[in-house]
Amino acid sequence: MNKSIVSIVKTPQNPIYEHIFSAVERAVDLAGGIREYVKPGQRVLINPSWVTAVTRKEQAVITLPEVSRAVADIVKNAGARPIIAESSAIGIDSEKVIAESGYQKLRNMGYEVVDLKNTETVMIPVPNGKIFKEIQSFRPVQEADAIIPVAKLKTHDQMELTMSIKKLKGLLSDKYKREFHQQGVFQACVDWYEAISPRLCVVDAVYCQEGLGPIFGKPVEMDLIVAGSDGVAVDAVCGFIVGFDPEEVPITREAAARGLGVAKKEEIEVVGESIESVYRRFMRVLEDERIKIEGFNLVYGDATCTGCRMGIMSSLFDMKEADQLMYLPGVAVVTGDPEIPEAVAQQDLVTVGRCVPREKRSQRHVKGCPPNNLDIVQAIIGDRDRAERRWE
């Protein structure tokens, strides 16, 4: 049986670009070499994570520009044309992410850095899709000869972990990001992965997040690059490194069950560092106690996307910073299209976002898609205090 090869390469602590380039180059070489996946003259779309704008790389929210640049340089050295492209979470301005998170510097250096939200949308067929038969993406995705996701390894409050397969959701229009959450996000992500079939997956596991990821997790410096052509195996190995079995991670489990790659240890050949030598268990989302408040109920429906998750979480962190967490007990915040907890009285219910069906909206409903943080906080505290914006 041919095993899927996944490489793990360590960088020095707090690596500079040269360290990262060496690590990415070695990881790609160990995974078969770039010429196995990319041919001269091809357009190669490199897809980092730009979920939201952050200024400090150690916050570990988005893919390090240095990792994307390293992949771009390797692709260019193989005679192909690298295009770094992504669209941020629903309601987030990708140009703001580019400007504030280090990608503008790459543009200034001559790299092609594309905000997909500013490009033409197109429908891409999904012949084997379980949920979708076509998905709305962007012209540069359709025109690419090869796609290389460059995911950030983080815990995720809905997916358990976010890695290569989940990362590709950044290639969707906002409309379809929303549709994914409404129709069944795990299956839909796997539909999309199969439809665009990335050649090579590279994971930025230099600075990662544990606990309340993918935005508010606690940063963990792991100093690793993981790579391979089987995205299921790459994601499984990332999971093993941080103590998650593939069966715990719905997207990895689903992709393996559909035969799109392998997730069992005995079917994967790990090269470079061993999993055991770099192992560090990550705190699960539910183990992160920072915003756990007795008597406060937060309910996400299946339809809840990153926009509302991020808005609500950052609102709770705003309240923490402003010493307003005492207003939370007794309140239930509900988003997406969930069952409303029966025990909650109407006056204690705050419904958030356009996805909450009209008949389920409370008197304290917060409009918007995504809704505004100040409005969420004000709806929670009512006339007891004034909302303040603290988290940026």
Residue with the CB atom nearest ligand SF4 in the bound state? 307
Say if residue 82 is preceded by a cis peptide, omega within 30 of 0.
no
Report how far residue 120's alpha carbon sits from residue 360's, in angstroms, rounded to the nearest whole number: 35
User: Binding segment for ligand SF4 among 35-43, 102-110, 285-293, 350-358 (CB under 6 A)?
Assistant: 350-358
Nearest distance from C-beta of residue 315 to ligand SF4, angstroms: 13
Q: Does 355 bind ligand SF4 (CB under 6 A)?
A: yes
Q: Which is nearer to ligand SF4, 71 or 303 (CB)?
A: 303
Report how far residue 297's alpha carbon sits from residue 146's, in angstroms, rounded to the nearest whole number: 44
Strand partners for 201: 228
Nearest in space to 122 (alpha carbons), one of 145, 134, 138 = 138
From 178, 199, 253, 365, residue interacting with ligand SF4 (rule: CB under 6 A): 178
Say if residue 214 is preceded by a cis peptide, omega within 30 of 0.
yes
Strand partners for 125: 134
Q: Where are the beta strands (DSSP E) in the chain?
A: 4-10, 43-48, 81-86, 113-115, 121-125, 134-138, 146-156, 160-162, 201-210, 218-228, 268-272, 297-300, 332-335, 349-352
Nearest distance from C-beta of residue 125 to ligand SF4, angstroms: 24
Considering only residues 293 to 322 of the shown chain, the ones binding ligand SF4 according to CB under 6 A are 303-305, 307-308
Residue 264 contacts by C-beta under 8 Å, 6 or more apart in sequence? 236, 246, 256
Task: Identify the DSSP state of 3.
Answer: P
Nearest distance from C-beta of residue 370 to ligand SF4, angstroms: 4
Q: Exposed, middle or buried, 96 (CB in 10 Å: 0-12/13-18/19+)? A: middle
From 123, 291, 322, 369, residue interacting with ligand SF4 (rule: CB under 6 A): 369
Nearest in space to 193 (alpha carbons), one of 42, 25, 47, 301 = 47
Q: Which is nearer to ligand SF4, 135 or 262 (CB)?
A: 135
User: Binding segment for ligand SF4 among 6-14, 266-274, 342-350, 353-361 (CB under 6 A)?
Assistant: 353-361
Q: Which is nearer to ligand SF4, 7 or 304 (CB)?
A: 304
Nearest distance from C-beta of residue 335 to ligand SF4, angstroms: 6
Q: Which is nearer to ligand SF4, 190 or 308 (CB)?
A: 308
Q: Which is nearer to ligand SF4, 184 or 336 (CB)?
A: 336
Q: Read off the amino acid at residue 127.
A: P
* Count of chain residues binding ligand SF4 (CB under 6 A): 14
Nearest distance from C-beta of residue 351 to ligand SF4, angstroms: 10
- Record the tokens describing residue 346, joined without a space: 């109407």
Site string for ligand SF4, 71-110 (x = CB under 6 A): -------------------x--------------------
Kind plus residue range of the DSSP H or E element containing 302: none
Q: Which is nearer to ligand SF4, 126 or 308 (CB)?
A: 308
Q: Which is nearer to ligand SF4, 175 or 386 (CB)?
A: 175
Nearest distance from C-beta of residue 177 to ligand SF4, angstroms: 8
Nearest in space to 326 (alpha carbons), one of 316, 312, 334, 313 = 316
Nearest distance from C-beta of residue 305 to ligand SF4, angstroms: 3
Contact 159, 166 (CB under 8 A): yes
Contact 222, 206 (CB under 8 A): yes
Number of Cα atoms under 13 Å in the Cβ half of residue 280: 16
Considering only residues 329 to 348 of the shown chain, the ones binding ligand SF4 according to CB under 6 A are 335-336
From 354, 361, 367, 389, residue interacting with ligand SF4 (rule: CB under 6 A): 354
Instruction: Please give the full DSSP string across 46-67, using - where no structure is assigned.
Output: EEE--SS--S-GGG--S--HHH
Site string for ligand SF4, 156-175 (x = CB under 6 A): --------------------
Q: Which is nearer to ligand SF4, 153 or 366 (CB)?
A: 366
Q: Which is nearer to ligand SF4, 140 or 370 (CB)?
A: 370
Nearest distance from C-beta of residue 302 to ligand SF4, angstroms: 10
Binding site for ligand SF4 (CB under 6 A): 90, 178, 303-305, 307-308, 335-336, 353-355, 369-370
